[in-house]
Amino acid sequence: MNTSTIITILIIGIYFIILINKKDSKLGINLKRVFCPKCNLKQPFIRKPTSVRQALYGGSTCEKCKTEMDKYGVEIN
């Protein structure tokens, strides 16, 4: 295996990681810290799910203003 083969595999790997982490993918994993869309409070990385949806897909409820958001920090109405 030469260097260019390894680089190609790496690029494909990164591409797939980006693909599964697209904003509209509920199954993607968001490893970035999420901030409340309303009050900008940093959400805890390890959160207690407050609903079945949160347990399944992630997301959190802001402790300060009780805004519900998904795991990407997008407000859920």
| Least separation in angstroms between CB 2 and Zn ion | 51
CA torsion 14→17→32→66, rounded to 10°?
A: 160
- Residue found under tokens 């992630």: 58
Q: Please say which residue, 29 or 75, places its beta carbon nearer to Zn ion.
A: 75
How many Cβ atoms from other residues are within 10 Å of residue 40's Cβ? 11
User: Which residue, 21 or 37, has its beta carbon nearer to Zn ion?
Assistant: 37
Helix residue ranges, H only, the chain: 3-20, 52-57
Least spacing, CB of residue 1 vs Zn ion, in Å:
49
Q: Report the interface residues with Zn ion, using CB under 5 A.
A: 36, 38-39, 41, 62, 64-65, 67
Closest approach, Cβ 34 to Zn ion, in A, equals 11
Tell me the C-alpha distance between 44 and 28, whole Å. 18
Nearer to Zn ion, 28 or 69 (CB): 69
